[in-house]
């Protein structure tokens, strides 16, 4: 009996030790990434009771494998719950791209319900739009980026370049500005680029401005700048109580090969 108990205890201890090590190793792997895995019906997902799950979706998190969806219809889990799983990683990245036009260009317009980290109490962001060639895609925005939570959007194309939109409260720069500020009230182009250029390139813009001009569309003025180095095109305007900085940039090779397209992207920016 003692031998049996000892053997049983050793087995139990061994199993507990294995489980602890297995779970620890698994959690370390899980903490490194988060992804969705779909398990198809291969016959191994059948339960002893005879019930079966044809497909299940689990998400790996720091807490282990968390089942999100399965085809246990008897449990009342709706099949459309998959939409929640798909939406989670895309929070704040609501699609807004149109289909390509005859020239292969798409128009992006910021959706009204797109989330953004611009502080509590601010009015909704007035939508903006711009055009990009087919092949440009939205990429995630990190609060660790230059500009922090004021970067509202990023797009990129590995062969052509990248862009981002900064939406900043105007009162961060001048208390006397109201809730319906124009870019002219903030100042002339020279003042705006000297004050806000560092928001885009992360350094003083003195001696870097190659071109500066003013354009007007639907009664709203836009200041347009070209800087070098780095290679960057900036379009600035104001609407409501926010300043909009639209930046288009690329590496030296991307700039050389795609300058006309990058310039067209920068000049297409509008607040609507």
Ramachandran bin of 32, using left for φ above 0, alpha for ψ from -120 to 50, beta for the remaining angles: alpha
Q: What is the pLDDT of residue 35?
A: 37
Q: What is the pLDDT of residue 262?
A: 98
Q: What is the pLDDT of residue 116?
A: 59
Q: What is the pLDDT of residue 158?
A: 97
Q: What is the pLDDT of residue 161?
A: 98
For the chain, strand residue ranges (E) read 36-40, 55-61, 64-70, 105-109, 128-133, 137-138, 151-157, 161-169, 209-217, 220-227, 232-239, 242-249, 270-271
Q: For tokens 């779970």, name the residue.
A: 23
Q: Is the pTM of this model over 0.75?
A: no
Q: What is the pLDDT of residue 113?
A: 79
Q: What is the pLDDT of residue 209?
A: 97
Tokens of 83: 């939409």
Q: What are phi and psi of 38, to 5 degrees?
A: -105, 125
Tokens of 85: 């799983």
From residue 14, alpha-carbon distances to 1, 20, 21, 24, 64 in Å are: 20, 10, 11, 15, 22
Contacts of 87 (CB under 8 A, 6+ apart): none
Q: What is the pLDDT of residue 54?
A: 41
Rounded to 5°, angle at Cα 216 from 166 and 123: 40
pLDDT tens per residue, the chain (272 residues)?
Answer: 444 444 444 444 344 444 444 444 554 444 444 333 333 444 444 444 444 444 434 444 444 444 443 333 344 434 443 333 333 344 444 479 999 999 999 999 999 877 654 544 557 889 999 999 999 999 988 766 655 558 899 999 999 999 999 998 888 778 888 889 999 999 999 999 999 999 899 899 999 999 999 999 999 999 999 999 999 999 999 999 999 999 999 999 999 999 999 999 999 999 99
């Amino acid at each position: 009996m003692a031998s049996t108990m000892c053997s049983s205890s050793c087995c139990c201890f061994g199993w507990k030790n294995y489980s602890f090590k297995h779970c620890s190793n698994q959690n370390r792997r899980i903490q490194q990434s988060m992804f969705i895995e779909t398990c198809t019906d291969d016959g191994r997902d059948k339960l002893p009771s005879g019930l079966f799950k044809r497909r299940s979706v689990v998400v790996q998190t720091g807490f282990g494998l968390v089942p999100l969806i399965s085809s246990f219809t008897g449990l009342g889990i709706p099949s459309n719950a998959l939409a929640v799983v798909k939406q989670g990683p895309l929070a704040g990245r609501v699609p807004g791209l149109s289909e390509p036009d005859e020239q292969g260009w798409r128009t992006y317009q910021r959706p009204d319900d797109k989330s953004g980290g611009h502080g509590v109490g601010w009015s909704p962001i007035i939508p903006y739009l711009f055009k990009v060639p087919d092949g440009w895609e939205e990429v995630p925005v990190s609060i660790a980026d230059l500009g922090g939570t004021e970067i509202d959007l990023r797009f990129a194309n590995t062969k052509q370049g990248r862009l981002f939109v900064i939406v900043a409260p105007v009162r961060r720069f001048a208390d006397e500005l109201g809730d319906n500020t124009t870019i002219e009230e903030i100042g002339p182009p020279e003042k705006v680029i000297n004050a806000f250029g560092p928001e885009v390139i992360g350094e003083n813009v003195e001696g870097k401005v190659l071109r500066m001009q003013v354009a007007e569309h639907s009664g709203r003025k836009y200041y347009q700048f070209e800087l070098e180095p780095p290679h960057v095109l900036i379009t600035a305007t104001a609407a409501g109580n926010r300043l909009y900085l639209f930046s288009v940039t690329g590496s030296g090779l991307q700039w050389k090969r795609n300058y006309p397209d990058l310039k067209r992207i920068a000049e297409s920016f509008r607040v609507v």
